[in-house]
Amino acid sequence: MEIEAKPYRLILSIAKWIIPLVFLILSIRMIINTPDYQESAYQVKGWFGDSSAYEGKSQKNIDKLAQKSRRNIASLEGRIDKLKPVKPFIVVNTNENRFSLRNAAGDTIKTGMCSTGKNELLISGTKRIVFKTPKGIFTVRNKQQARPWIKPDWAFIEDGLPIPSARSSERIDYATLGDYALEIGNGYMLHGTLYQRFLGLPVTHGCVRLGDKDLELIYNTLSKGSKVFIY
Amino acid sequence: MNNKLVFWIVTAVLGVCFCYILTSTVILPVFTKSVLPKVVVHTVEEKDKNTKSSKNADDSAEASTTSSSKESVDKLIELKKKEFLAQSRLALATEDSNYLVLDLSSKLAIIELKGVVLHEAKIIQLTLSNSIKHHNSEVLTNWASEPFSVKNIEATIPKIVFFEKIAPKDTLEANKMAQEPKITKQGDVLVIMDFHRNLRLIISQSELPDPEGLKAITELRESYSKQEVSRSLDAITHLNREPIKPQIEIVVSKSDATILYKSLPLNPRMILKF
Protein backbone atom coordinates (compact mmCIF):
# COMPACT_ATOMS: atom_id res chain seq x y z
CA MET A 1 0.00 0.00 0.00
CA GLU A 2 2.75 2.43 1.00
CA ILE A 3 4.72 1.61 -2.11
CA GLU A 4 1.75 2.61 -4.35
CA ALA A 5 1.10 5.89 -2.52
CA LYS A 6 4.65 7.23 -2.80
CA PRO A 7 4.65 8.41 -6.43
CA TYR A 8 1.17 9.87 -5.91
CA ARG A 9 2.42 11.87 -2.95
CA LEU A 10 5.43 13.03 -4.90
CA ILE A 11 3.24 14.33 -7.69
CA LEU A 12 1.06 16.14 -5.16
CA SER A 13 4.02 17.68 -3.40
CA ILE A 14 5.32 19.00 -6.71
CA ALA A 15 1.89 20.09 -7.98
CA LYS A 16 1.16 22.24 -4.95
CA TRP A 17 4.09 24.49 -5.95
CA ILE A 18 2.07 25.47 -8.97
CA ILE A 19 0.08 27.87 -6.77
CA PRO A 20 3.02 30.13 -5.77
CA LEU A 21 4.41 29.73 -9.26
CA VAL A 22 1.20 31.11 -10.74
CA PHE A 23 1.35 34.04 -8.32
CA LEU A 24 4.92 34.71 -9.39
CA ILE A 25 4.19 34.49 -13.11
CA LEU A 26 1.10 36.67 -12.85
CA SER A 27 2.97 39.27 -10.79
CA ILE A 28 5.77 39.46 -13.35
CA ARG A 29 3.30 39.56 -16.23
CA MET A 30 1.40 42.34 -14.55
CA ILE A 31 4.52 44.42 -14.08
CA ILE A 32 5.45 43.94 -17.73
CA ASN A 33 1.96 44.39 -19.09
CA THR A 34 0.39 46.88 -16.71
CA PRO A 35 -1.11 49.02 -19.48
CA ASP A 36 -2.64 45.93 -21.08
CA TYR A 37 -4.15 44.79 -17.79
CA GLN A 38 -5.54 48.24 -17.14
CA GLU A 39 -6.87 48.42 -20.65
CA SER A 40 -8.53 45.01 -20.26
CA ALA A 41 -10.61 46.41 -17.45
CA TYR A 42 -12.32 48.64 -19.97
CA GLN A 43 -13.76 45.68 -21.75
CA VAL A 44 -16.45 45.63 -19.13
CA LYS A 45 -18.61 48.27 -20.67
CA GLY A 46 -20.25 50.71 -18.33
CA TRP A 47 -17.95 49.67 -15.46
CA PHE A 48 -17.24 53.27 -14.68
CA GLY A 49 -20.78 54.46 -15.18
CA ASP A 50 -19.59 57.89 -16.31
CA SER A 51 -22.51 60.15 -15.77
CA SER A 52 -23.45 62.68 -18.41
CA ALA A 53 -22.95 66.36 -17.83
CA TYR A 54 -26.39 66.79 -19.35
CA GLU A 55 -28.12 64.41 -16.97
CA GLY A 56 -31.06 66.02 -15.29
CA LYS A 57 -31.18 68.92 -17.72
CA SER A 58 -34.57 69.78 -19.07
CA GLN A 59 -35.49 69.00 -22.66
CA LYS A 60 -35.84 72.73 -23.26
CA ASN A 61 -32.28 73.38 -22.13
CA ILE A 62 -30.94 70.52 -24.23
CA ASP A 63 -32.73 71.92 -27.29
CA LYS A 64 -31.30 75.35 -26.63
CA LEU A 65 -27.80 73.96 -26.24
CA ALA A 66 -28.20 72.01 -29.48
CA GLN A 67 -29.40 75.11 -31.30
CA LYS A 68 -26.49 77.10 -29.96
CA SER A 69 -24.10 74.33 -30.97
CA ARG A 70 -25.47 74.27 -34.55
CA ARG A 71 -24.98 78.03 -34.81
CA ASN A 72 -21.42 77.71 -33.50
CA ILE A 73 -20.59 74.94 -35.98
CA ALA A 74 -21.87 77.03 -38.90
CA SER A 75 -19.90 80.04 -37.74
CA LEU A 76 -16.69 78.07 -37.14
CA GLU A 77 -16.90 76.29 -40.50
CA GLY A 78 -17.47 79.64 -42.18
CA ARG A 79 -14.32 80.96 -40.55
CA ILE A 80 -12.33 77.91 -41.69
CA ASP A 81 -13.62 78.39 -45.24
CA LYS A 82 -12.43 81.98 -45.16
CA LEU A 83 -8.89 80.74 -44.57
CA LYS A 84 -9.00 78.53 -47.65
CA PRO A 85 -7.78 79.81 -51.02
CA VAL A 86 -10.29 81.77 -53.05
CA LYS A 87 -8.48 81.12 -56.34
CA PRO A 88 -7.27 77.90 -57.96
CA PHE A 89 -4.17 76.61 -56.20
CA ILE A 90 -1.50 73.95 -56.45
CA VAL A 91 -0.32 71.39 -53.90
CA VAL A 92 3.20 69.99 -54.24
CA ASN A 93 4.19 66.76 -52.53
CA THR A 94 7.97 66.80 -52.14
CA ASN A 95 8.10 63.24 -50.82
CA GLU A 96 6.62 61.70 -53.93
CA ASN A 97 7.50 64.54 -56.33
CA ARG A 98 3.91 64.93 -57.43
CA PHE A 99 1.63 67.93 -57.82
CA SER A 100 -2.11 68.41 -57.65
CA LEU A 101 -3.68 71.40 -59.35
CA ARG A 102 -7.03 72.29 -57.77
CA ASN A 103 -9.81 74.74 -58.42
CA ALA A 104 -11.04 77.27 -55.85
CA ALA A 105 -13.48 74.71 -54.45
CA GLY A 106 -10.56 72.36 -53.80
CA ASP A 107 -11.47 69.85 -56.53
CA THR A 108 -8.56 68.36 -58.39
CA ILE A 109 -8.10 69.59 -61.97
CA LYS A 110 -4.88 67.74 -62.72
CA THR A 111 -2.31 65.66 -60.96
CA GLY A 112 1.12 64.77 -62.27
CA MET A 113 4.81 64.42 -61.68
CA CYS A 114 7.24 67.18 -60.84
CA SER A 115 10.76 67.48 -59.51
CA THR A 116 11.62 69.10 -56.21
CA GLY A 117 14.77 69.86 -54.23
CA LYS A 118 17.52 67.26 -54.04
CA ASN A 119 18.35 67.97 -50.39
CA GLU A 120 22.01 68.55 -51.05
CA LEU A 121 24.61 70.54 -49.19
CA LEU A 122 27.17 72.00 -51.58
CA ILE A 123 30.43 72.80 -49.82
CA SER A 124 32.75 75.30 -51.43
CA GLY A 125 35.52 76.49 -49.12
CA THR A 126 33.72 78.12 -46.24
CA LYS A 127 30.46 78.41 -48.17
CA ARG A 128 27.62 76.01 -47.45
CA ILE A 129 24.77 76.07 -49.98
CA VAL A 130 21.59 74.10 -49.30
CA PHE A 131 19.46 72.84 -52.20
CA LYS A 132 16.06 72.10 -50.71
CA THR A 133 12.48 72.96 -51.58
CA PRO A 134 10.92 75.05 -48.83
CA LYS A 135 7.72 73.74 -47.30
CA GLY A 136 4.65 75.70 -46.35
CA ILE A 137 2.22 78.04 -48.04
CA PHE A 138 3.41 80.45 -50.74
CA THR A 139 1.82 82.94 -53.11
CA VAL A 140 2.40 83.34 -56.84
CA ARG A 141 4.10 86.72 -56.97
CA ASN A 142 4.80 86.95 -60.65
CA LYS A 143 4.15 85.03 -63.87
CA GLN A 144 6.40 85.24 -66.88
CA GLN A 145 6.69 83.58 -70.27
CA ALA A 146 10.14 82.65 -71.61
CA ARG A 147 11.75 84.02 -68.52
CA PRO A 148 15.54 84.02 -68.68
CA TRP A 149 17.32 82.57 -65.69
CA ILE A 150 19.86 84.81 -64.08
CA LYS A 151 22.30 82.22 -62.83
CA PRO A 152 23.32 82.69 -59.20
CA ASP A 153 26.86 82.04 -57.93
CA TRP A 154 26.13 78.44 -56.93
CA ALA A 155 25.33 77.51 -60.55
CA PHE A 156 28.96 78.32 -61.46
CA ILE A 157 30.37 76.74 -58.30
CA GLU A 158 28.49 73.54 -59.06
CA ASP A 159 29.83 73.48 -62.63
CA GLY A 160 33.39 74.17 -61.51
CA LEU A 161 33.43 77.48 -63.33
CA PRO A 162 34.80 80.82 -62.18
CA ILE A 163 32.09 83.12 -60.85
CA PRO A 164 31.51 86.02 -63.25
CA SER A 165 30.62 89.55 -62.22
CA ALA A 166 27.07 90.27 -61.10
CA ARG A 167 26.06 91.91 -64.39
CA SER A 168 27.92 89.55 -66.67
CA SER A 169 26.00 88.21 -69.69
CA GLU A 170 27.36 84.76 -68.79
CA ARG A 171 24.73 84.66 -66.06
CA ILE A 172 21.81 84.85 -68.48
CA ASP A 173 20.35 81.50 -69.51
CA TYR A 174 17.34 81.44 -71.85
CA ALA A 175 16.72 77.71 -71.96
CA THR A 176 16.72 76.26 -68.45
CA LEU A 177 13.41 77.57 -67.10
CA GLY A 178 11.32 76.44 -70.06
CA ASP A 179 8.37 78.35 -71.51
CA TYR A 180 6.78 79.60 -68.30
CA ALA A 181 7.82 80.53 -64.78
CA LEU A 182 5.79 81.37 -61.73
CA GLU A 183 7.72 83.06 -58.92
CA ILE A 184 6.78 82.19 -55.34
CA GLY A 185 9.34 84.32 -53.50
CA ASN A 186 12.93 84.11 -52.28
CA GLY A 187 14.09 83.09 -55.76
CA TYR A 188 11.97 79.92 -55.81
CA MET A 189 9.83 79.22 -58.87
CA LEU A 190 7.58 76.73 -60.57
CA HIS A 191 9.13 76.35 -64.01
CA GLY A 192 9.86 74.02 -66.90
CA THR A 193 12.84 71.77 -67.40
CA LEU A 194 15.25 70.46 -69.96
CA TYR A 195 15.43 67.21 -68.00
CA GLN A 196 11.92 65.80 -68.47
CA ARG A 197 13.23 62.29 -67.75
CA PHE A 198 13.95 63.29 -64.16
CA LEU A 199 10.35 64.26 -63.46
CA GLY A 200 9.20 62.39 -60.37
CA LEU A 201 12.68 62.55 -58.84
CA PRO A 202 14.24 64.98 -56.37
CA VAL A 203 16.82 66.72 -58.54
CA THR A 204 16.31 70.47 -58.33
CA HIS A 205 18.12 73.20 -56.44
CA GLY A 206 14.88 74.10 -54.63
CA CYS A 207 12.51 75.15 -57.42
CA VAL A 208 9.65 72.96 -58.59
CA ARG A 209 10.18 71.68 -62.14
CA LEU A 210 7.21 70.63 -64.23
CA GLY A 211 6.62 68.93 -67.54
CA ASP A 212 5.82 71.22 -70.51
CA LYS A 213 2.10 70.45 -70.82
CA ASP A 214 1.46 70.49 -67.09
CA LEU A 215 3.36 73.75 -66.78
CA GLU A 216 1.24 75.37 -69.49
CA LEU A 217 -1.98 74.32 -67.75
CA ILE A 218 -0.69 75.53 -64.38
CA TYR A 219 0.44 78.80 -65.91
CA ASN A 220 -2.98 79.37 -67.44
CA THR A 221 -4.91 78.29 -64.32
CA LEU A 222 -2.98 80.06 -61.60
CA SER A 223 -2.86 83.80 -61.42
CA LYS A 224 -0.92 86.31 -59.37
CA GLY A 225 -1.97 85.78 -55.75
CA SER A 226 -2.77 82.09 -56.20
CA LYS A 227 -1.60 79.87 -53.36
CA VAL A 228 1.11 77.22 -53.61
CA PHE A 229 1.09 74.58 -50.86
CA ILE A 230 4.30 72.60 -50.54
CA TYR A 231 4.60 69.69 -48.10
CA MET B 1 7.18 19.51 8.16
CA ASN B 2 9.91 21.88 7.06
CA ASN B 3 8.87 21.47 3.47
CA LYS B 4 5.27 22.36 4.31
CA LEU B 5 6.33 25.47 6.19
CA VAL B 6 8.48 26.63 3.32
CA PHE B 7 5.60 26.07 0.94
CA TRP B 8 3.16 28.14 2.99
CA ILE B 9 5.65 30.94 3.56
CA VAL B 10 6.52 31.17 -0.16
CA THR B 11 2.87 30.96 -1.18
CA ALA B 12 1.85 33.61 1.33
CA VAL B 13 4.65 35.99 0.33
CA LEU B 14 3.97 35.61 -3.38
CA GLY B 15 0.23 35.86 -2.79
CA VAL B 16 0.68 39.13 -0.92
CA CYS B 17 2.99 40.43 -3.67
CA PHE B 18 0.47 39.44 -6.30
CA CYS B 19 -2.38 41.17 -4.48
CA TYR B 20 -0.26 44.29 -3.96
CA ILE B 21 0.77 44.50 -7.59
CA LEU B 22 -2.77 43.80 -8.75
CA THR B 23 -4.13 46.50 -6.49
CA SER B 24 -1.53 49.14 -7.28
CA THR B 25 -1.27 48.67 -11.00
CA VAL B 26 -4.74 47.58 -12.03
CA ILE B 27 -7.49 47.81 -9.43
CA LEU B 28 -6.65 51.21 -7.94
CA PRO B 29 -6.08 53.05 -11.23
CA VAL B 30 -9.26 51.58 -12.61
CA PHE B 31 -11.53 52.05 -9.60
CA THR B 32 -10.25 55.48 -8.68
CA LYS B 33 -11.34 56.51 -12.17
CA SER B 34 -7.84 57.13 -13.44
CA VAL B 35 -9.72 56.92 -16.61
CA LEU B 36 -8.43 59.45 -19.06
CA PRO B 37 -5.86 62.00 -18.02
CA LYS B 38 -7.09 64.54 -15.55
CA VAL B 39 -5.46 67.31 -17.56
CA VAL B 40 -8.52 67.15 -19.75
CA VAL B 41 -9.36 70.46 -21.24
CA HIS B 42 -12.63 72.19 -20.51
CA THR B 43 -15.61 70.07 -19.88
CA VAL B 44 -18.65 70.50 -22.08
CA GLU B 45 -20.24 72.48 -19.30
CA GLU B 46 -17.30 74.87 -19.00
CA LYS B 47 -17.11 75.34 -22.75
CA ASP B 48 -20.75 76.22 -22.79
CA LYS B 49 -20.23 78.70 -20.00
CA ASN B 50 -17.44 80.33 -21.96
CA THR B 51 -19.56 80.81 -25.02
CA LYS B 52 -22.92 81.34 -23.43
CA SER B 53 -22.26 84.36 -21.21
CA SER B 54 -25.32 85.89 -19.68
CA LYS B 55 -27.78 83.72 -21.56
CA ASN B 56 -26.90 80.88 -19.21
CA ALA B 57 -28.67 82.42 -16.29
CA ASP B 58 -31.91 82.74 -18.25
CA ASP B 59 -31.70 79.09 -19.29
CA SER B 60 -31.41 77.78 -15.77
CA ALA B 61 -34.31 79.93 -14.72
CA GLU B 62 -36.39 78.44 -17.52
CA ALA B 63 -35.41 74.89 -16.64
CA SER B 64 -38.50 72.81 -16.32
CA THR B 65 -38.75 69.57 -14.38
CA THR B 66 -39.17 67.50 -17.56
CA SER B 67 -35.92 65.63 -17.96
CA SER B 68 -34.35 65.25 -21.40
CA SER B 69 -34.59 62.08 -23.47
CA LYS B 70 -31.47 59.99 -24.03
CA GLU B 71 -31.86 60.45 -27.77
CA SER B 72 -31.71 64.24 -27.58
CA VAL B 73 -28.72 64.10 -25.25
CA ASP B 74 -26.95 61.82 -27.71
CA LYS B 75 -27.75 64.24 -30.53
CA LEU B 76 -26.39 67.10 -28.46
CA ILE B 77 -23.18 65.18 -27.76
CA GLU B 78 -22.80 64.55 -31.51
CA LEU B 79 -23.24 68.27 -32.14
CA LYS B 80 -20.72 69.11 -29.44
CA LYS B 81 -18.30 66.68 -31.04
CA LYS B 82 -18.67 68.51 -34.37
CA GLU B 83 -18.37 71.86 -32.66
CA PHE B 84 -15.15 70.96 -30.85
CA LEU B 85 -13.75 69.51 -34.04
CA ALA B 86 -14.49 72.72 -35.92
CA GLN B 87 -12.97 74.73 -33.06
CA SER B 88 -9.80 72.63 -33.17
CA ARG B 89 -9.54 72.85 -36.95
CA LEU B 90 -9.97 76.61 -36.85
CA ALA B 91 -7.36 76.93 -34.11
CA LEU B 92 -4.80 74.97 -36.15
CA ALA B 93 -5.81 76.43 -39.52
CA THR B 94 -4.94 79.92 -38.32
CA GLU B 95 -1.34 78.75 -37.76
CA ASP B 96 1.26 78.35 -40.51
CA SER B 97 2.13 74.71 -39.86
CA ASN B 98 0.80 71.45 -41.20
CA TYR B 99 -1.27 69.44 -38.78
CA LEU B 100 -2.61 65.93 -38.66
CA VAL B 101 -6.29 65.08 -38.61
CA LEU B 102 -6.87 61.50 -37.55
CA ASP B 103 -10.33 60.54 -38.72
CA LEU B 104 -11.11 57.28 -36.97
CA SER B 105 -14.62 56.98 -38.37
CA SER B 106 -13.52 57.31 -42.01
CA LYS B 107 -10.19 55.56 -41.34
CA LEU B 108 -8.14 58.40 -42.77
CA ALA B 109 -4.99 60.17 -41.65
CA ILE B 110 -5.08 63.63 -43.20
CA ILE B 111 -2.43 66.32 -43.42
CA GLU B 112 -3.97 69.76 -43.56
CA LEU B 113 -2.68 73.28 -43.84
CA LYS B 114 -4.95 76.31 -43.51
CA GLY B 115 -7.96 74.02 -43.70
CA VAL B 116 -6.81 72.61 -47.05
CA VAL B 117 -6.34 68.86 -47.31
CA LEU B 118 -2.80 68.29 -48.56
CA HIS B 119 -2.60 64.54 -48.23
CA GLU B 120 -4.98 61.76 -47.37
CA ALA B 121 -3.62 58.42 -46.17
CA LYS B 122 -5.98 55.48 -46.02
CA ILE B 123 -5.70 53.60 -42.75
CA ILE B 124 -5.39 49.93 -43.60
CA GLN B 125 -5.64 48.72 -40.04
CA LEU B 126 -6.76 50.60 -36.97
CA THR B 127 -6.24 49.37 -33.42
CA LEU B 128 -7.74 51.32 -30.55
CA SER B 129 -6.98 50.61 -26.94
CA ASN B 130 -9.90 49.65 -24.74
CA SER B 131 -9.93 52.95 -22.93
CA ILE B 132 -10.86 54.63 -26.20
CA LYS B 133 -13.11 51.87 -27.47
CA HIS B 134 -15.20 51.48 -24.36
CA HIS B 135 -15.47 55.00 -23.06
CA ASN B 136 -18.71 56.75 -23.60
CA SER B 137 -18.90 59.30 -26.33
CA GLU B 138 -19.22 62.27 -24.01
CA VAL B 139 -16.04 61.53 -22.07
CA LEU B 140 -14.13 61.04 -25.32
CA THR B 141 -15.60 64.21 -26.79
CA ASN B 142 -14.33 66.20 -23.84
CA TRP B 143 -10.96 64.51 -23.88
CA ALA B 144 -10.44 65.16 -27.59
CA SER B 145 -12.07 68.58 -27.63
CA GLU B 146 -8.79 70.44 -28.18
CA PRO B 147 -5.86 69.67 -30.48
CA PHE B 148 -3.26 67.28 -29.13
CA SER B 149 0.34 68.55 -28.98
CA VAL B 150 3.21 66.14 -29.28
CA LYS B 151 5.46 65.59 -26.26
CA ASN B 152 7.87 63.13 -27.77
CA ILE B 153 8.27 61.63 -31.20
CA GLU B 154 10.52 58.82 -32.32
CA ALA B 155 10.86 57.14 -35.67
CA THR B 156 12.97 54.62 -37.50
CA ILE B 157 13.60 57.03 -40.37
CA PRO B 158 15.22 60.46 -40.35
CA LYS B 159 13.06 63.53 -40.91
CA ILE B 160 15.35 64.74 -43.66
CA VAL B 161 18.46 63.35 -45.37
CA PHE B 162 21.08 65.71 -46.77
CA PHE B 163 23.77 64.69 -49.21
CA GLU B 164 27.04 66.51 -48.85
CA LYS B 165 28.88 67.46 -52.01
CA ILE B 166 32.27 69.14 -52.26
CA ALA B 167 32.26 71.72 -55.05
CA PRO B 168 34.32 70.61 -58.09
CA LYS B 169 37.59 72.38 -58.81
CA ASP B 170 37.00 72.64 -62.55
CA THR B 171 34.57 71.66 -65.30
CA LEU B 172 36.33 68.35 -65.84
CA GLU B 173 35.70 67.33 -62.24
CA ALA B 174 32.16 68.69 -62.45
CA ASN B 175 31.45 66.52 -65.47
CA LYS B 176 32.89 63.49 -63.70
CA MET B 177 30.46 63.98 -60.83
CA ALA B 178 27.42 61.88 -61.37
CA GLN B 179 24.74 63.55 -63.42
CA GLU B 180 22.17 60.94 -62.47
CA PRO B 181 20.09 61.85 -59.43
CA LYS B 182 20.90 60.29 -56.08
CA ILE B 183 17.92 58.38 -54.82
CA THR B 184 17.75 57.45 -51.17
CA LYS B 185 16.34 54.09 -50.26
CA GLN B 186 13.07 54.49 -48.42
CA GLY B 187 13.62 53.10 -44.94
CA ASP B 188 11.03 50.99 -43.14
CA VAL B 189 8.78 53.11 -41.00
CA LEU B 190 7.60 52.98 -37.44
CA VAL B 191 6.68 56.25 -35.77
CA ILE B 192 5.69 56.55 -32.13
CA MET B 193 4.21 59.85 -31.05
CA ASP B 194 3.42 60.63 -27.42
CA PHE B 195 0.95 63.46 -27.10
CA HIS B 196 -0.21 65.47 -24.14
CA ARG B 197 -3.23 64.04 -22.40
CA ASN B 198 -1.39 60.70 -22.50
CA LEU B 199 -2.38 59.74 -26.01
CA ARG B 200 0.07 57.55 -27.88
CA LEU B 201 -0.12 57.27 -31.65
CA ILE B 202 1.79 54.54 -33.43
CA ILE B 203 2.14 54.71 -37.19
CA SER B 204 3.43 51.61 -38.87
CA GLN B 205 3.71 50.39 -42.44
CA SER B 206 1.65 47.61 -43.97
CA GLU B 207 4.56 46.26 -46.05
CA LEU B 208 6.91 43.70 -44.54
CA PRO B 209 10.19 45.36 -43.56
CA ASP B 210 13.57 44.23 -44.81
CA PRO B 211 15.97 42.72 -42.22
CA GLU B 212 17.62 46.06 -41.53
CA GLY B 213 14.26 47.81 -41.17
CA LEU B 214 12.93 45.03 -38.99
CA LYS B 215 15.88 45.46 -36.64
CA ALA B 216 15.23 49.20 -36.34
CA ILE B 217 11.50 48.64 -35.80
CA THR B 218 12.10 45.96 -33.15
CA GLU B 219 14.63 48.16 -31.35
CA LEU B 220 12.20 51.07 -31.22
CA ARG B 221 9.33 48.89 -30.00
CA GLU B 222 11.57 47.28 -27.38
CA SER B 223 12.79 50.62 -26.08
CA TYR B 224 9.16 51.64 -25.59
CA SER B 225 8.33 48.35 -23.86
CA LYS B 226 11.23 48.91 -21.46
CA GLN B 227 9.87 52.37 -20.69
CA GLU B 228 6.49 50.83 -19.93
CA VAL B 229 8.02 48.26 -17.57
CA SER B 230 9.94 50.94 -15.68
CA ARG B 231 6.73 52.99 -15.51
CA SER B 232 4.93 50.00 -14.05
CA LEU B 233 7.69 49.36 -11.51
CA ASP B 234 7.61 53.00 -10.56
CA ALA B 235 3.86 52.78 -10.09
CA ILE B 236 4.30 49.76 -7.81
CA THR B 237 7.10 51.16 -5.68
CA HIS B 238 5.76 54.70 -5.35
CA LEU B 239 2.07 53.96 -5.70
CA ASN B 240 1.88 56.84 -8.13
CA ARG B 241 -1.12 55.96 -10.14
CA GLU B 242 -0.62 57.36 -13.59
CA PRO B 243 -3.64 57.92 -15.77
CA ILE B 244 -4.17 55.30 -18.39
CA LYS B 245 -2.38 55.74 -21.70
CA PRO B 246 -4.90 55.49 -24.50
CA GLN B 247 -3.22 54.17 -27.60
CA ILE B 248 -4.07 54.34 -31.27
CA GLU B 249 -2.11 52.26 -33.75
CA ILE B 250 -2.59 52.85 -37.43
CA VAL B 251 -1.18 50.82 -40.25
CA VAL B 252 -0.79 52.68 -43.53
CA SER B 253 1.21 52.06 -46.67
CA LYS B 254 4.97 52.64 -46.40
CA SER B 255 4.86 55.73 -48.62
CA ASP B 256 1.98 57.20 -46.61
CA ALA B 257 3.77 56.49 -43.32
CA THR B 258 6.86 58.25 -44.69
CA ILE B 259 4.83 61.22 -45.89
CA LEU B 260 2.95 61.52 -42.60
CA TYR B 261 6.19 61.60 -40.65
CA LYS B 262 8.25 63.77 -42.98
CA SER B 263 5.55 66.29 -43.79
CA LEU B 264 4.60 67.13 -40.25
CA PRO B 265 6.61 69.76 -38.39
CA LEU B 266 8.98 68.82 -35.56
CA ASN B 267 6.32 69.42 -32.94
CA PRO B 268 3.19 68.38 -34.75
CA ARG B 269 -0.32 68.90 -33.53
CA MET B 270 -3.19 66.57 -34.11
CA ILE B 271 -6.96 66.60 -34.13
CA LEU B 272 -8.79 63.43 -33.27
CA LYS B 273 -12.05 62.84 -35.09
CA PHE B 274 -14.06 59.80 -34.08
Find, among A108, A67, A60, the residue nearest to A221 by Cα: A108
The more confidently predicted of residues B64 and A228 is: A228
Picking from A64, A76, A102 by the largest number of B CB atoms within 10 A of its own CB, the best residue to mutate is A76
Contact B66, B237 (CB under 8 A): no
Q: Which residues of chain A make contact with B258, given a CB cutoff of 8 A? A: 95
Mean per-residue pLDDT of chain A: 88
**What whole-number distance in Å separates Cα of residue A216 and Cα of residue A199?**
16
The Cα of A159 is separated from the nearest Cα of chain B by a number of Å equal to 5
Q: Chain A window 185-204: which residues touch B at a Cβ cutoff of 8 Å?
A: 198, 201-203
Residue A45 pLDDT exceeds 50: no
Segment (H or E) for B153? strand B148-155
**What whole-number distance in Å separates Cα of residue A13 and Cα of residue A11?**
5
pLDDT recorded at residue B42:
46
Residue A22 pLDDT exceeds 50: yes
The Cα of A5 is separated from the nearest Cα of chain B by a number of Å equal to 18
Residue type, B131: S
Where are chain A's structural domains? 1-38, 89-230
pLDDT recorded at residue B40:
43
**What whole-number distance in Å separates Cα of residue B221 and Cα of residue B211?**
15
What is the three-class DSSP state of B166? Answer: strand
Q: Which residues of chain B make contact with A59, given a CB cutoff of 8 A? A: 64, 66-69, 72
The Cα of B13 is separated from the nearest Cα of chain A by a number of Å equal to 9
pLDDT recorded at residue B66:
58
Find, among B235, B233, B255, the residue nearest to B243 by Cα: B235
**What whole-number distance in Å separates Cα of residue B191 and Cα of residue B253?**
13
pLDDT recorded at residue B169:
83
Is the domain covering B33-54+68-273 a CATH 2.40.440.10 domain? yes
pLDDT recorded at residue B130:
76
Contact B21, A30 (CB under 8 A): yes
Vertex B27: Cα angle to B21 and B33 (nearest 5): 135
pLDDT recorded at residue A154:
93
The Cα of A140 is separated from the nearest Cα of chain B by a number of Å equal to 17
pLDDT recorded at residue B38:
44
The more confidently predicted of residues A149 and B175 is: A149
Among the four given CATH numbers 3.30.1490.100, 3.80.30.20, 2.40.440.10, 3.10.20.30, the one describing domain A89-230: 2.40.440.10
Asked if the ipTM is above 0.85, the reply is no
φ, ψ of residue B75 in degrees (nearest 5): -65, -40
User: DSSP letters along A127-150, please?
Assistant: EEEEE----EEEE--EEEESPPEE
A28 - beta bridge partners? none
Band (pLDDT 50/70/90 cuts) for residue A43 is low
* B21/A65 CB distance under 8 A: no
A169-189 pLDDT tens trace: 999 999 999 999 999 999 999
What is the three-class DSSP state of B73? Answer: helix
* A30/B25 CB distance under 8 A: yes
Of A38-47, A51-60, B110-119, which has the strongest mean pLDDT? B110-119
* B174/A20 CB distance under 8 A: no
Per-residue pLDDT 10s for chain B (274 aa) are 577 888 889 889 998 988 888 877 777 766 665 555 544 444 444 444 554 444 444 444 444 445 667 788 888 889 999 999 999 999 999 999 999 999 999 999 999 999 999 999 999 999 998 778 777 777 788 888 899 999 999 999 999 888 888 888 888 888 877 666 777 778 999 999 999 888 999 999 999 999 999 999 999 999 988 888 787 777 777 766 566 778 999 999 999 999 999 999 999 999 999 8
